């Protein structure tokens, strides 16, 4: 690690202010990506702005029929929250599949979404449920939030405050994990909502994406069989030691089917 200054503000405004005065400053949420990167000397922020002291960013609540998850809520809290388990079991299940117990007790939803790692799990749920990302400046619908590889709609100095999840009729997440890192090689989140079916795939490509063909098929017939022959193109998919692009493309169909089955 290189040397840095450390701050632990107690309000969002204070955090935003420190951030606005230094281009080299970095927000610290759960630190599950940033800290290992700093330890390997691949990142060298001048200041770390630790968000763990801001009480309003933590916790899960129900509000106007939506489930609101604070940006600094650890995965383990979401996985074990009784309301989430009852209202959106697919989301609780997804949170419980992230990393390992240590990661789930440190890592946060806000950190995960802001980083937008192509293999992370949460983007699947946020896009798959059509959630809304609320920041210190505005509300961003999931369909507009994820822009590309490690790229989001967040502006410079913009902080995620919380995420609002509409409650679906049913939903589920099926994950094919990377055996080494436990990230998603392919993660399929399916949801049947008032506005129709949503299918979001994470891990396979450079950024989470929806599969309209599957959504249409499931809108008319909610069953695994309805999508068994729908293939996605492997063109821009990731290839690495653990899975080639065409294997991932194959797994998209397999995992989407399993998610539909799991949702019931």
Partner 1 sequence: MPDTGAQRVLRKEDNRFLTGRGRYTDDFNRQGQAYGVFVRSEMAHAKIKSVDTSQAEQAPGVVAVFTGKDMEADGVGSLPCGWTVTDRHGNPHKAPPHWPLARDKVRYVGDQVAFVIAETDAQARDAAELVAVDYEPLDAVVETGKALNGPQVHEEAPDNLCFDWEIGDKQATDDAFAKADHVSKVELVNNRLVPNAIEPRAAIGEYDPGGDEYTLYSTSQNPHLLRLILCAFVLNLPEHKVRVVAPDVGGGFGSKIYCYAEETTCVWASKKLDGRPVKWVATRTEAFQADAHGRDHITTAEMALDKDGKFLGMRVDTIANLGAYLSNFSTAVPTYLYGTLLAGQYKTPAIHGNVKAVFTNTAPVDAYRGAGRPEATYVVERLVERCARDLNIDPAEIRRRNFVQPDEFPYQTPVALTYDSGQYELALDEALKMIDYRNFAQRRQESERRGKLRGIGFSAYIEACGIAPSQVVGALGAGVGLWESAQVRFNATGSISVFTGSHSHGQGHETTFAQMVADKFGTDYNNVDIVHGDTGRIPMGMGTYGSRSLAVGGSAILRACDKVVEKGKKIAAHMLEASVDDIEFDQGTFRVAGTDKQKSIGEIAFAAYVPHDFPQDVEPGLDETAFYDPANFTYPSGVHIAEVEIDPDTGETQIADWVAVDDFGRVINPMIVEGQVHGGIAQGVGQALLENTVYDPDSGQLVTGSYQDYTMPRADDLPSFRVGMTETPCPHNPVGAKGCGEAGAIAAPAALMNAITDALGTEDIQMPATREKVWRVAQQRLAPAAE
User: Closest CB to partner 1 among 3 and 220?
Assistant: 3
Three-state secondary-structure class, residue 116:
coil
* Residue placing its CB nearer to partner 1 in the complex, 65 or 179: 179
How far apart are CB 212 and partner 1 at their closest, in Å?
A: 23
Instruction: Give me the count of residues in the chain.
Output: 264
Closer residue to partner 1 (CB): 79 or 140: 79
- Sign of the C-alpha dihedral computed for residues 153, 158, 162 and 166 taken in this order: negative
165 or 176: CB nearest partner 1: 176
**DSSP E strand boundaries for 136-208:** 139-141, 146-148, 151-152, 160-166, 170-177, 184-193, 196-202
Nearest Cα to 173, choosing from 125, 134, 207? 125
Q: Where are the alpha helices (DSSP H) in the chain?
A: 12-20, 34-39, 75-80, 82-87, 89-96, 101-106, 109-115, 122-128, 142-145, 212-220, 245-263
Residue 259 CB, nearest distance to partner 1 (Å)?
Answer: 14
User: Smaller CB distance to partner 1: residue 161 or 177?
Assistant: 177
**Residue pair 67/91 in contact by the 8 Å Cβ criterion:** yes
Q: In what order do the strands lie in the sheet with 139-141?
A: 60-63, 66-70, 160-166, 132-135, 139-141
- Please, what is the minimum distance in Å from the beta carbon of residue 36 to partner 1? 9
Q: How far is the CB of 177 from partner 1 (least distance, A)?
A: 10
Question: Interface with partner 1 by CB under 8 A: which residues?
Answer: 1-3, 40-41, 176, 179-181, 240-244, 247, 250-251, 254
Q: How far is the CB of 52 from partner 1 (least distance, A)?
A: 24
Nearest approach in angstroms of CB 141 to partner 1 is: 32
When the beta carbons of 5 and 240 are compared against partner 1, the nearer one is: 240
């Amino acid at each position: 690690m290189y040397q840095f200054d450390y701050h632990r503000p107690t309000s969002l405004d204070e955090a935003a202010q420190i951030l606005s005065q230094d281009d080299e400053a970095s927000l610290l949420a759960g630190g599950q990506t940033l800290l290992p990167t700093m330890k390997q000397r691949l990142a060298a922020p001048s200041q770390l702005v630790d968000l763990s002291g801001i009480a309003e960013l933590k916790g899960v609540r129900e509000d106007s029929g939506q489930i609101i998850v604070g940006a600094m809520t650890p995965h383990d809290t979401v996985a074990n929250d009784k309301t989430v388990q009852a209202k959106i079991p697919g989301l609780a299940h997804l949170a419980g599949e992230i990393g390992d117990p240590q990661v789930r007790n440190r890592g946060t939803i806000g950190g995960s979404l802001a980083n937008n790692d192509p293999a992370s799990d949460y983007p699947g749920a946020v896009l798959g449920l059509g959630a809304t990302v609320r920041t210190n400046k505005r509300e961003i619908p999931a369909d507009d939030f994820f822009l590309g590889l490690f790229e989001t709609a967040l502006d410079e100095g913009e902080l995620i405050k919380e995420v609002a999840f509409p409650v679906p009729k049913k939903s589920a997440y099926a994950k094919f994990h990377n055996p080494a890192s436990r990230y998603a090689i392919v993660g399929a989140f399916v949801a049947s909502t008032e506005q129709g079916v949503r299918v979001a795939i994470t891990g396979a490509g450079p950024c989470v994406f929806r599969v309209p063909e599957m959504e249409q098929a499931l809108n008319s017939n909610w069953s695994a069989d309805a999508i068994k022959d729908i293939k996605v193109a492997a063109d821009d998919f990731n290839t690495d030691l653990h899975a080639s692009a065409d294997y991932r493309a194959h797994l998209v169909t397999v995992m989407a089917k399993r998610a539909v089955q799991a949702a019931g």
